[in-house]
């Protein structure tokens, strides 16, 4: 069988197995679900270092120590956050409305996992899916297949040890475009969790299935004149260097307020960020730009700054953490104004927070609308204006956006999938949690009985006599057929039954 046909058949087989496992797990009570989640988190926590090594070795991207941190974030922070969430049985009662809400699993989740964060994303998506009593079938990026297969193996063993069907978590072993499309479009798939490049996210949206899509970030970081400059620059450099810029929440541009420009430049140098200027800037662009698409070359994604510089033919100090490129414009004509997925930072200078803000809006509109924005400031009025007006759903204050947006350094829900909202074509602006992967069924009792009002000449409504005089009713009106005096009588009757007196 040809590989594409074989991969499609694998996708179908895995979906059938996942559906069977999910149906067996669908009525599991909350304590048992949480025991499974605990086992999954503990197993991947123990394997965090080994999985980080596998991810770096297979993909050639990112920093080993930071891959460990991301694996632990998914295994520990996500697990601890979701464990208290109620995702089984009656999750809410509203006595005054006589309504009860019941959590119902969605079914089988199709999950696309990127090459940039393969093991941590697989752990995270598996945990939030199973917490909602769903099954999940993962489609890994072809260049991250082995490390995802090992991650899933560990998860399956943990699920089995906790007494649940191990087929709740499965992965394609021969990912192809055809298999991924089958996974997204198959009738057994209930919902799609898509994390990856823009074309893959668009494919998820066009699959005909409900989908949560996460695309590019292109996050601007503004350093306003009242900021703690030393901390602000340290946060930005640390965020840009974390896993060599692979997170979608990574800072991609620093926008400096002109009165503190000199201090920011000095602090960047102190933080071992190197400005690349003149002919070296052109060399760096040629190295980083894909000659066919015009976008970022896959050859430099997730590499350390020193290696990128070496490939570009630049001589830089061996301890350089970030390469900084000064820019004046935003858009297709300025290569460095886009998301770079590497420790390369665009640098803009604007005069005043309003102009800084306009530049940030340009950057977000060009390639990160709705995602995230960070501001370093101590002026609460400025911070509030950013919160109210800027086109990003995560406004991170005085922290690195890389880790603040995902909930590592902030109180946001810990997540590896960040919704950019309707501004970017997504159904949600939330950090995705298990609560996005359950349906809510509602039981509602009558609290306002309805009695139709008969038109003139029609037989009296028999419902009226069947109700006690103390039972309130809601009359029905059709102004095109009911005379005004009949409406008045109906209103009088309604008020009388409610024991409400008209004011004189």
Query: Taking the model in full, what pTM does it have?
Result: 0.89
Alpha-helical regions (H) of 254-322? 261-270, 278-288, 305-311
Q: Whole-angstrom Cα distance, residue 337 to residue 289?
A: 12
Strands 89-94 and 99-105: antiparallel
**How far apart, in Å, are the Cα atoms of 204 and each of 198, 210, 369, 438?**
10, 9, 19, 19
- Identify whether 231 is part of a domain: yes
Q: Which of 395, 420, 442 is the last residue of a domain?
A: 442
The verdict on 398 and 348 lying in the same domain is: yes
Whether 491 maps to a domain, the answer reads yes
What b/e sequence results for 295-325 when a residue is b if at least 16 CB atoms lie within 10 Å of its CB, and e otherwise? bbbeebbbbbbbebbebbebebeeebbbbbb
d(C-alpha 284, C-alpha 313), whole Å: 8
Count CA atoms closer than 13 A to 47's CA, side-chain side: 23
Does one domain contain both 229 and 378?
yes
Give me the number of domains the chain comprises: 3
Residues in the chain, total: 504
Same domain, 162 and 285: no
Annotated catalytic, 248? yes
Largest interatomic CA distance in the chain = 96
Q: What is the DSSP letter of 424?
A: G
CA torsion, ordered 325, 330, 334, 340, to nearest 10 deg = 60
CATH code of 20's domain: 3.40.605.10
| 3-state SS assignment for residue 25 | helix
Residue 503 belongs to a domain: no
Q: Are 202 and 300 members of one domain?
A: no
Judge if 12 and 57 occupy the same domain: yes
Radius of gyration of the chain (CA): 28
Please indicate, yes or no, whether residues 225 and 366 belong to a single structural domain of this protein. Answer: yes
Token pair recorded at residue 77: 């922070």
- Tell me the C-alpha distance between 375 and 352, whole Å: 13
Tell me how crowded residue 228 is: count the other CB atoms within 10 A of its CB: 14
Task: Kindly state the DSSP code that residue 289 receives in the 8-state scheme.
Answer: B
Report CA-CA distances (Å) from 15 to 107, 152, 187, 473.
10, 15, 9, 50
3-state secondary structure (DSSP) of residue 482: coil
Token pair in block for residue 305:
């700054």
* 202 & 270 share domain: no
Contact of 393 with 371, CB cutoff 8 Å: yes
pLDDT at residue 504 in the model: 41
Residues 188 and 240 in one domain: no
pLDDT tens for 51-93 read 999 999 999 999 999 999 999 999 999 999 999 999 999 999 9
Q: Which of 88, 147, 248, 327 is catalytic?
A: 248
Residue corresponding to tokens 């006595």: 95
Q: Quick one: which of 375, 268, 383, 276 has its CA closest to 327?
A: 276
What is the domain extent for residue 321? 219-409
Left if phi > 0, otherwise alpha if psi is -120 to 50, otherwise beta: which for 141? Answer: beta
Tens of pLDDT along the chain (504 residues) come to: 799 999 999 999 999 999 999 999 999 999 999 999 999 999 999 999 999 999 999 999 999 999 999 999 999 999 999 999 999 999 999 999 999 999 999 999 999 999 999 999 999 999 999 999 999 999 999 999 999 999 999 999 999 999 999 999 999 999 999 999 999 999 999 999 987 766 777 788 788 899 998 877 899 999 999 999 999 999 999 999 999 999 999 999 999 999 999 999 999 999 999 999 999 999 999 999 999 999 999 999 999 999 999 999 999 999 999 999 999 999 999 999 999 999 999 999 999 999 999 999 999 999 999 999 999 999 999 999 999 989 999 999 999 999 999 999 999 999 999 999 988 888 899 999 999 999 999 999 999 998 888 777 666 555 555 555 555 555 554 544 445 566 667 667 766 665 555 544
pLDDT of 267 reads: 98
Q: Based on the domain organization, do 153 and 248 belong to the same domain?
A: no
Report the CATH number at residue 305: 3.40.309.10
Decide if 96 is inside a domain: yes
Q: Which long-range contacts (CB under 8 A, 24 or more apart) does 5-8 make?
A: 5/178, 6/174, 7/172, 7/174, 7/175, 7/176, 7/178, 7/179, 8/176, 8/178, 8/179, 8/182
Cα 359 from Cα 355, distance rounded (Å): 6
Instruction: Check residue 393 and give its pLDDT.
Output: 95
Q: What is the pLDDT of residue 426?
A: 86
CA 303, 235, 267, 393: dihedral to nearest 10 degrees? 100
At residue 2, the 3 state secondary structure works out as: coil
Measured at the CA of 411, the angle between CA 410 and CA 415, to 5 degrees, comes to 85
Q: Are residues 297 and 179 in the same domain?
A: no
In this structure, is residue 427 part of a structural domain?
no
Dihedral sign for Cα atoms in the order 121, 124, 127, 133: negative
**Considering only CA atoms, which of 407, 93, 400 is closest in space to residue 238?**
400
Instruction: Count other Cβ atoms within 10 Å, centred on residue 476.
Output: 13
Phi, psi of 208 (to 5 degrees): 90, 0
Q: What per-residue confidence (pLDDT) applies to 483?
A: 56
Same domain, yes or no, for 125 and 241? no
269 shares its domain with 161: no
User: Residue 420 domain-assigned?
Assistant: no
CA–CA separation, 407 and 397 (whole Å)? 13
The first and second tokens of residue 328, run together, are 């004046």
Residue 230 CB coordination number (10 Å): 14
């Amino acid at each position: 069988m040809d590989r594409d046909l074989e991969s499609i058949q694998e996708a179908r087989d895995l979906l059938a197995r996942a559906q069977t496992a999910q149906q067996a797990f669908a009525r599991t009570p909350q304590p048992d679900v949480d025991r499974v989640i605990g086992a999954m988190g503990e197993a991947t926590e123990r394997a965090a270092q080994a999985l980080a090594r596998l991810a770096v070795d297979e993909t050639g991207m990112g920093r080993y120590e930071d891959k460990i941190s991301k694996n632990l974030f998914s295994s520990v922070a996500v697990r601890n956050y979701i464990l208290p969430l109620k995702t089984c049985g009656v999750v809410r009662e509203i006595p005054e409305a006589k309504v009860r809400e019941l959590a119902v699993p969605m079914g089988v989740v199709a999950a696309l996992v990127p090459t940039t964060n393969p093991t941590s994303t697989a752990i995270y998506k598996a945990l939030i899916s199973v917490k909602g009593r769903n099954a999940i079938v993962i489609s890994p990026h072809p260049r991250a297949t082995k490390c995802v297969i090992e991650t899933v193996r560990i998860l399956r063993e943990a699920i089995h040890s906790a007494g649940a069907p191990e087929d709740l978590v499965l992965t394609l072993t021969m990912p192809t475009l055809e298999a991924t499309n089958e996974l997204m479009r198959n009738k057994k798939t209930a919902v799609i969790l898509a994390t990856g490049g823009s074309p893959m996210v668009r494919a998820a949206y066009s699959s005909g299935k409900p989908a949560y899509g996460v695309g590019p970030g292109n996050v601007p970081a503004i350093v306003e004149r009242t900021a703690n400059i030393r901390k602000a620059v340290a946060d930005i450099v640390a965020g840009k260097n974390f896993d060599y810029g692979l997170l979608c929440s990574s800072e991609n541009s620093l926008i400096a307020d002109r009165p503190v420009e000199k201090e920011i430049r000095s602090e960047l140098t102190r933080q071992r960020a190197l400005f690349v200027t003149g002919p070296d800037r052109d060399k760096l662009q040629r190295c980083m730009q894909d000659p066919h698409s015009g976008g970022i070359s896959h050859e430099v994604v997730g590499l350390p700054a020193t290696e990128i510089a070496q490939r570009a033919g630049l001589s830089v100090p061996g301890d350089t953490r970030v390469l900084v490129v000064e820019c004046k414009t935003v858009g297709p004509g300025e290569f460095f104004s886009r998301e770079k997925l590497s420790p390369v930072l665009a640098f803009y200078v604007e005069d005043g927070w309003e102009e800084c803000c306009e530049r940030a809006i340009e950057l977000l509109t060009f390639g990160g609308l709705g995602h995230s924005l960070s501001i370093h400031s101590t002026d609460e009025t400025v911070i509030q204006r950013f919160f109210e007006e800027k086109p990003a759903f995560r406004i991170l204050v005085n922290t690195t956006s890389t880790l603040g947006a995902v909930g590592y350094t902030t109180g946001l829900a810990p997540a590896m999938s960040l919704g950019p909202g309707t501004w970017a074509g997504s159904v949600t602006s939330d950090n995705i949690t298990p609560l996005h992967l359950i349906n809510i069924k509602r039981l509602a009792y009558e609290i306002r009985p309805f009695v139709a009002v008969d038109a003139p000449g029609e037989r009296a409504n028999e419902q009226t006599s069947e109700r006690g005089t103390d039972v309130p009713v809601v009359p029905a009106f059709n102004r095109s057929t009911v005379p005004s005096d009949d409406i008045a009588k109906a209103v009088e009757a309604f008020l009388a039954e409610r024991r409400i007196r008209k004011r004189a």
